Amino acid sequence: MQKYLDREEHFSFGNEYFPDIQLDLCCCHRYNPSERLGPIVPDRYVINILETGRGVLDIGNRRYNVVAGQAFVLFPDKSVTLKADNMEPWNYIGIVLSGKDVGKFIEHLGLTSQTPLIDFSTSHKAMDLAYDLFMECEKKYQNHFSISSCFLNLLECLEESLISRKIPAKNFYMTRAVEYIKENYNKNLSVEEIANMLGIERSYLSRLFKTYKNKSTQNYIIDYRIQRAKKMFEEEDLNVSQVCSAVGYTNIYCFSRIFKSRVGMSPKEYREMCKRVNIVE
């Protein structure tokens, strides 16, 4: 049931399709735990958009932690090393860009080799657009108008990330808060703990989540836990009790009630549905 791809493919394009900001390559990479690439020196701009997992990006003497929902940029002639997490290796869709306006576009986004990470205002939208582009590229009979449309939509989404970059508090506090939730969702995590970790008031943290995620901090934690639970049911042969514990709930009845309210069916029903689908596939 995983929407994104379990394989790695590459698709190349000629110069005639994107004259100013050119799509040279679209690719999907899946890494093994702790898999390392580099050091490498790209000859073009590369934007990698993470679907799942996490990893580290080393540029010079700087290290950047990247998590699902973010993207990172590789710069021409800048040596870089990439390493997947040993527990949650990353999976990303990459686009390789060239053309006379690419440098200006990357600069317009506020990205440099010292600030190579992109925090999307709507990360699911970014991943969906990258996936749509990849799927159009994958078709046997490619429609270059459709590819162009998907590509331009993705560029527009990248430009939307500029809005978040103009708000420093959001960049720092929201990015770190979301990262902390993704690292600790399977523990007894509280809003107060996150606020203390960031050194800000709980009420301020709540306002940030309401403004930029359109939900409370607690609801974001719940939604992320349920998202992870669904993924476990889809991809692993775990029972309800095991998944309940793995996503940070100690009370299976509480977990079941919240799961059903978010998904529309009980964990047991969802698990059985996933098993039926996996058998058919």
Cα 89 from Cα 74, distance rounded (Å): 19
pLDDT at residue 175 is higher than 50: yes
Query: 119-122: long-range contacts (C-beta < 8 A, 24 or more apart)?
Result: 119/70, 119/161, 119/164, 119/165, 119/171, 119/174, 119/175, 120/69, 120/70, 120/71, 120/157, 120/160, 120/161, 120/164, 121/160, 121/161, 121/163, 121/164, 121/212, 122/157, 122/160
Structure tokens at 161: 């990330």
**Does the domain formed by 169-280 have CATH 1.10.10.60?**
yes
Domain boundaries in the chain? 10-165, 169-280
pLDDT at residue 118 is higher than 60: yes
> What are the tens digits of pLDDT across the range 176-228?
888 899 989 999 889 988 888 877 788 888 888 888 888 999 999 999 999 99
pLDDT in the model for residue 219: 93
pTM above 0.75, yes or no: no
pLDDT at residue 21 is higher than 80: yes
pLDDT at residue 258 is higher than 90: yes
Does a cis peptide bond (omega within 30 degrees of 0) precede residue 42? no
* Nearest in space to 229 (alpha carbons), one of 216, 211, 247, 252: 247
- Contact yes or no for 97/45 (Cβ under 8 A): yes
pLDDT in the model for residue 169: 47
CATH of region 10-165, choose from 2.60.120.280, 2.30.110.10, 2.60.120.680, 2.40.40.20:
2.60.120.280
Average pLDDT over residues 237-247: 92
> What are the tens digits of pLDDT across the range 57-81?
898 888 888 888 788 999 999 999 9
pLDDT in the model for residue 235: 85
